[in-house]
C-alpha cells in the first residue's frame, strides 16, 4: 500500500538539484524507516532502476532530433511545462506512458535504440504520417503493448522474427502501408494479440494459423493473400478477408481444385478447351440478353412510378395542411438565404397541433444567429417576432426516401412527446435541402459544458441527472420506434441539449431512416461503432455504443476522437483508453478530477463507468442491451450512502471483473 508514495518521493527527490535535497531526503526517510542502511540500499535501488521523467525528457528530445517535419512537436523541450503537457505524450498519473504522434506529417527516422531508453513506453503510435522504408526493429521494445503504424508509407518485407519476444504486445496496426511478403511468423505467435489490422498492404502467401484466437479487431483485407483460410478463423466476418483474390474457404467461397496446368496441351484437351470457349460465349450472350431485358423493364417501371408519384404529390399538396405562403427572395435573413429561390415550390409544414403556427415569412423576418455548422449543414437560432426562439437546422443529403415517406416520417416524429426530447415543430421539404424546426434549448449543449466552450462546470449531481435524462429519452425512442434499427442514430454530446432547468433533451433523433445511406455511413455517430466499421449493419446496439461513449465522455471529461475523424481511420480511442486503465486496476483515475461533488459519489460514478464500459463492449454479443443499460442508469444514486458496505463497485473489483 505504501510503496507508491515512497517511490514517488524517491523519484521526485532524484531530480532535485541542490544539496538541501539530502536533508529533506533523510528527514522523510527517518520518519518512514528506522534503519539507515536499509533505506540507503532502497534509495540506490530506486535511483538506479527507475529513470526519472527528466531523463525521459532528454531521451525524447534525442528521438525528435531524428524526425523531419516535426513542427507539430515544437513545444517539446519547453522548460515552462512538464513533459506530460508536450504534444503527443501520453501520461497516466503524471507518469510517461506512451507516444501518440498521429496526423502530424512526420517523416525521417524512428530511432528505436533511443526509444529503448524510455522508461515505461507502453504504447507507440505514428498513425497517418509520412514515414517510409522498412519497418523499424520494434522487437527491441519488449514491453510494448500497442504498436500503431497505419497510414504511412512503410514498405518491404517484414522479417519473420520482427515481433519475437514481444510477449506483452496486444495491438498491432500496420494498415494502409506498402508492406510485402508473408505475414511474419512471429506476429501470429504473439500470445496476447487481440487487435490486428494489416489491411491495405501487399502481404502475400497463405494465412498462417494464429496462436491467439479471441480477436477484438481482426482485418487482413485488401492484400494479396491466397489459399485456404485456416479453420480457426472461419467464423470471422467475411469483410476481414475481402479484397484478397486468392483466398478461399469459410467464411468466403469454398476452395476448389487447382486449375489444369497449361502444359496439358494434347489435341483432346485443346478440343475440349474450344468447346468450353463456345459454351462460355453462349452463356455470355444469354446473360447480355437477360440483363438488357431487365434494364428495359426497370426503366419502364421507373417511368411508371414517377408518373404515379407526381399524381400522388399533387393530391397531397391539395390537402389543407398548414401550407404557408411563398417567401420573398429579397429577404436578407441568413436562415432562408439559400432556400428563398426554391421556396416557390415548398412550404413549411407543422407537425404539432398544440403549437402556434408561423410561416416562412415569419422565419425570414426573425433575427437569426448561427449556432454551428455540423455534418449535415448549418444550424441557426431564429427569434420570431411574436413568438418563441426556435432552432432551424438545414439538412442536405436527406433523400433516402421519397417525398411521401418523408412527410409521413416527419409527422411520426412530430407525434413524439417526452420531457427528454427536443420537440420537432415543423419542417420544410425542398428537393435538395430540408429544414427542420425544433424548440430552442436555453442552456446549450452538453458538449459545450463538458469541454469548456462557454459552459459551466457540471457537478456530479447534474451529470447524473443529465445521463438519466438521456437514458429515458433513448428508452422512449426505442419503445416508440420498435421496428427501427437506429431509433436515435446520432447520439453524441452536441446532440444533447439542456433546457431552462438543465433537463437533458435529445436532439437530431430518428433521422437515420431518411438520411442518404452514404452520408449516414460517413457522418452519423452510430455508424462509427466497431461493428459498422467492420461493415456490419447498424443496429440498436450501435446506439448503445454511442450511449456508452457519451457516459465515458461525461465521466472522464475527455472528447471522443471518433466524433472528429470520419470514415477510414476513425477510432474508438476513448473506450480503449478507459479499458486499458481499468484493466491495470486504476479505474478511479479515469474519472475527471475537476468534477465537483465527486468525493461523496465516487462509488456511484464507478457504477456508471461500469455501465459505460458495458455499453462499449466491442462485440455485439457481449455489449449490453439498451433496456439493461437504461435500467441500471435509473438505479444510480447521487451519493454512495445507499451503497455503504457494498464493495462490488470498488476500483479493485472493477479491474478484476474485467480481467
Ligand X SMILES: Nc1ncnc2c1ncn2[C@@H]1O[C@H](COP(=O)(O)OP(=O)(O)OP(=O)(O)O)[C@@H](O)[C@H]1O
Of 118-126, 220-228, 370-378, 404-412, the window that binds ligand X (rule: CB under 6 A) is 370-378
Of 113-121, 375-383, 396-404, 640-648, the window that binds ligand X (rule: CB under 6 A) is 375-383
Buried b (16+ CB within 10 A) or exposed e, 292-321: eeeeeeeeeeeeeeeeeeeeeeeeeeeeee
Cα–Cα dist 29/31, whole Å: 5
Q: Residue 347 or 493: which CB sits closer to ligand X? A: 493
Q: Interface with ligand X includes 82 (CB under 6 A)?
A: no
* CA separation, residue 104 to residues 63, 112, 153, 293 (Å): 15, 19, 14, 54
Residue 98 bridge partners (DSSP): 90, 123
Q: Supply the minimum distance, in Å, between the C-beta of residue 524 and ligand X.
A: 8
E-assigned strands of 440-590?
Answer: 496-498, 504-506
| Alpha helices for 67-165 (secondary structure H) | 112-115
SS3 of residue 389 by DSSP: strand
Q: Interface with ligand X includes 215 (CB under 6 A)?
A: no
Q: Interface with ligand X includes 486 (CB under 6 A)?
A: no
Cα–Cα dist 163/160, whole Å: 8
Which residue is closest to ligand X by CB? 374
Q: Interface with ligand X includes 420 (CB under 6 A)?
A: no
Contacts of 281 (CB under 8 A, 6+ apart): none
Per-residue binding letters, 446-485, with ligand X (x by CB under 6 A): ----------------------------------------
Longest Cα–Cα distance in the chain = 100
Q: Interface with ligand X includes 327 (CB under 6 A)?
A: no
**Helix pair 540-556, 573-583: axis angle to 10 deg:** 60
Q: Supply the minimum distance, in Å, between the C-beta of residue 247 and ligand X.
A: 37
Q: Residue 515 or 633: which CB sits closer to ligand X? A: 515
DSSP state of 149: -
Q: Interface with ligand X includes 445 (CB under 6 A)?
A: yes
Unique residue bearing C-alpha cell 534503519: 35
Contacts of 541 (CB under 8 A, 6+ apart): 529, 531, 620, 623, 625, 626
Of 60-68, 158-166, 437-445, 545-553, the window that binds ligand X (rule: CB under 6 A) is 437-445
Q: How many of the other CB atoms lie within 10 Å of CB of 213?
A: 12
Q: Residue 222 or 397: which CB sits closer to ligand X? A: 397
Q: Is 171 left (phi over 0), alpha (psi -120 to 50) or beta?
A: beta
Q: Supply the minimum distance, in Å, between the C-beta of residue 645 and ligand X.
A: 41
Q: Interface with ligand X includes 427 (CB under 6 A)?
A: no
Q: Residue 145 or 519: which CB sits closer to ligand X? A: 519
Q: Please pick, from the candidates 70, 126, 146, 371, the single residue that binds ligand X as defined by CB under 6 A.
A: 371
Q: Residue 208 or 455: which CB sits closer to ligand X? A: 455
Q: Interface with ligand X includes 508 (CB under 6 A)?
A: yes
Of 283-291, 367-375, 476-484, 644-652, the window that binds ligand X (rule: CB under 6 A) is 367-375
With CA atoms as reference, report the closest residue to 56 among 141, 115, 106, 11: 115
Q: Residue 489 or 601: which CB sits closer to ligand X? A: 489
Q: Residue 133 or 452: which CB sits closer to ligand X? A: 452
Q: Residue 43 or 440: which CB sits closer to ligand X? A: 440
Q: How many residues bind ligand X (CB under 6 A)?
A: 20
Q: Please pick, from the candidates 210, 438, 481, 626, the single residue that binds ligand X as defined by CB under 6 A.
A: 438
Q: Supply the minimum distance, in Å, between the C-beta of residue 76 and ligand X.
A: 32
Q: Supply the minimum distance, in Å, between the C-beta of residue 525 and ligand X.
A: 7
Q: Residue 21 or 375: which CB sits closer to ligand X? A: 375
Q: Residue 329 or 375: which CB sits closer to ligand X? A: 375
Q: Supply the minimum distance, in Å, between the C-beta of residue 554 and ligand X.
A: 15
Q: Interface with ligand X includes 520 (CB under 6 A)?
A: no
Q: Please pick, from the candidates 376, 406, 427, 624, the single residue that binds ligand X as defined by CB under 6 A.
A: 376
Q: Residue 438 or 649: which CB sits closer to ligand X? A: 438
Cα–Cα dist 60/52, whole Å: 13
* CA separation, residue 346 to residues 185, 332, 350, 407 (Å): 64, 19, 13, 13
SS3 of residue 112 by DSSP: helix
Residue 228 bridge partners (DSSP): 248
Q: Please pick, from the candidates 104, 174, 363, 507, the single residue that binds ligand X as defined by CB under 6 A.
A: 507
Q: Interface with ligand X includes 379 (CB under 6 A)?
A: yes
* CA separation, residue 602 to residues 636, 647, 657 (Å): 11, 12, 18
Q: Interface with ligand X includes 422 (CB under 6 A)?
A: yes
Q: Interface with ligand X includes 152 (CB under 6 A)?
A: no
Note whether 586 and 651 are within 8 A (CB): yes
Instruction: Confirm or deny that 403 is annotated as ligand binding.
Output: no
Q: Interface with ligand X includes 494 (CB under 6 A)?
A: yes
Q: Interface with ligand X includes 391 (CB under 6 A)?
A: yes
Contacts of 99 (CB under 8 A, 6+ apart): 88, 89, 90, 121, 123, 124, 125, 126
Q: Residue 223 or 494: which CB sits closer to ligand X? A: 494
Q: Interface with ligand X includes 495 (CB under 6 A)?
A: yes
Q: How many of the other CB atoms lie within 10 Å of CB of 537?
A: 9
Q: Interface with ligand X includes 374 (CB under 6 A)?
A: yes
Of 228-236, 328-336, 433-441, 651-659, the window that binds ligand X (rule: CB under 6 A) is 433-441
Note whether 625 and 542 are within 8 A (CB): no
Q: Interface with ligand X includes 440 (CB under 6 A)?
A: yes
Q: Please pick, from the candidates 372, 452, 567, 596, the single residue that binds ligand X as defined by CB under 6 A.
A: 372
Note whether 219 and 199 are within 8 A (CB): yes
List interacting residues with ligand X (CB under 6 A): 371-376, 379, 391, 393, 422, 438, 440-441, 445, 490, 494-495, 497, 507-508
Please enumerate, by residue number, every residue annotated as part of a binding site for ATP: 393
Binding residues: 393
Amino acid at each position: 500500500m505504501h510503496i507508491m508514495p515512497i517511490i514517488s518521493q524517491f523519484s521526485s527527490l532524484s531530480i532535485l538539484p541542490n544539496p538541501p535535497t539530502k536533508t529533506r531526503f533523510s528527514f522523510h526517510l527517518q520518519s518512514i524507516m528506522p534503519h539507515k542502511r536499509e533505506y540507503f540500499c532502497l534509495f540506490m535501488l530506486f535511483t538506479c532502476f527507475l529513470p526519472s521523467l527528466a531523463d525521459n525528457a532528454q531521451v525524447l528530445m534525442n528521438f525528435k532530433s531524428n524526425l523531419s517535419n516535426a513542427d507539430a512537436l515544437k513545444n517539446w523541450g519547453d522548460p515552462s511545462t512538464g513533459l506530460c503537457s508536450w504534444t503527443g505524450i501520453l501520461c497516466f498519473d503524471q507518469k510517461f506512458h506512451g507516444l501518440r504522434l498521429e496526423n502530424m506529417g512526420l517523416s525521417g527516422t524512428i530511432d528505436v535504440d533511443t526509444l529503448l531508453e524510455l522508461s515505461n513506453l507502453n504504447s507507440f503510435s505514428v498513425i497517418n504520417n509520412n514515414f517510409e522504408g522498412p519497418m523499424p526493429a520494434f522487437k527491441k521494445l519488449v514491453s510494448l503493448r500497442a504498436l500503431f503504424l497505419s497510414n504511412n508509407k512503410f514498405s518491404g518485407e517484414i522479417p519473420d522474427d520482427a515481433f519475437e519476444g514481444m510477449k506483452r504486445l496486444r495491438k498491432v496496426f500496420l494498415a494502409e502501408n506498402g508492406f510485402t511478403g508473408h505475414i511474419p511468423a512471429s506476429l501470429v505467435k504473439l500470445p496476447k494479440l487481440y487487435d490486428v489490422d494489416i489491411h491495405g498492404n501487399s502481404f502475400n502467401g497463405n494465412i498462417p494459423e494464429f496462436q491467439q484466437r479471441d480477436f477484438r479487431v481482426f482485418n487482413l483485407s485488401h492484400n494479396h493473400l491466397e489459399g485456404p483460410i485456416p479453420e480457426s478463423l472461419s467464423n470471422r466476418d467475411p469483410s476481414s478477408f475481402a479484397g484478397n483474390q486468392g483466398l478461399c474457404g469459410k467464411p468466403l467461397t469454398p476452395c476448389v481444385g487447382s486449375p489444369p496446368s497449361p502444359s496439358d496441351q494434347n489435341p483432346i484437351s485443346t478440343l475440349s478447351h474450344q468447346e468450353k470457349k463456345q459454351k462460355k460465349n453462349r452463356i455470355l450472350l444469354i446473360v447480355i440478353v437477360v440483363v438488357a431485358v431487365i434494364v428495359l423493364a426497370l426503366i419502364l417501371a421507373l417511368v411508371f412510378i414517377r408518373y404515379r408519384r407526381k399524381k400522388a404529390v399533387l393530391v397531397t399538396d391539395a390537402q389543407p395542411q398548414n401550407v404557408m405562403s411563398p417567401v420573398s427572395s429579397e429577404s436578407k435573413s441568413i436562415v432562408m438565404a439559400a432556400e428563398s429561390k426554391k421556396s416557390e415550390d415548398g412550404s413549411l409544414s407543422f407537425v404539432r397541433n398544440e403549437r402556434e403556427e408561423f410561416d416562412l415569412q415569419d422565419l425570414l423576418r426573425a433575427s437569426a444567429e448561427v449556432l454551428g455548422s455540423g455534418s449535415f449543414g448549418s444550424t441557426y437560432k431564429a427569434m420570431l417576432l411574436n413568438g418563441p426562439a426556435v432552432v432551424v437546422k438545414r439538412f442536405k443529403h436527406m433523400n433516402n426516401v421519397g417525398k411521401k415517406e418523408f412527410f409521413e416520417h416527419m409527422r411520426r416524429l412530430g407525434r413524439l412527446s417526452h420531457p427528454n426530447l427536443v420537440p420537432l415543430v415543423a419542417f420544410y421539404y425542398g428537393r435538395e435541402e430540408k429544414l427542420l424546426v425544433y424548440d430552442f434549448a436555453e442552456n446549450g449543449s452538453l458538449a459545450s459544458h463538458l469541454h469548456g466552450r462557454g459552459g459551466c462546470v457540471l457537478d456530479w449531481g447534474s451529470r447524473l441527472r443529465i445521463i438519466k435524462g438521456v437514458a429515458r429519452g433513448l428508452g422512449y425512442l426505442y419503445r416508440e420506434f420498435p421496428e427501427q434499427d437506429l431509433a436515435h442514430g446520432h447520439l453524441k454530446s452536441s446532440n444533447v441539449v439542456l433546457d431552462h432547468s438543465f433537463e437533458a433533451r435529445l436532439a437530431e433523433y430518428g433521422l437515420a431512416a431518411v438520411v442518404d445511406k452514404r452520408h449516414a455511413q460517413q457522418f452519423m455517430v452510430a455508424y462509427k461503432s466497431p461493428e459498422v466499421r467492420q461493415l456490419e449493419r447498424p443496429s440498436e446496439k450501435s446506439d448503445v455504443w454511442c450511449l456508452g461513449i457519451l457516459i465515458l465522455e461525461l465521466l472522464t471529461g475527455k472528447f471522443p476522437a471518433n466524433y472528429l475523424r470520419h470514415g477510414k481511420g476513425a477510432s474508438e480511442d476513448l473506450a480503449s483508453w478507459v479499458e486499458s486503465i481499468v484493466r491495470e486496476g486504476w479505474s478511479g483515475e479515469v474519472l475527471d478530477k475537476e468534477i465537483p461533488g465527486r468525493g461523496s459519489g465516487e462509488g456511484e460514478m464507478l457504477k456508471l463507468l461500469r455501465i459505460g464500459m458495458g455499453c462499449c463492449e466491442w462485440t455485439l454479443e457481449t455489449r449490453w442491451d439498451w433496456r439493461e443499460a437504461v435500467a441500471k442508469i435509473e438505479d444510480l444514486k447521487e451519493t454512495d450512502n445507499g451503497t455503504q458496505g457494498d464493495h462490488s463497485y470498488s476500483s479493485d473489483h472493477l479491474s478484476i471483473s474485467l480481467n
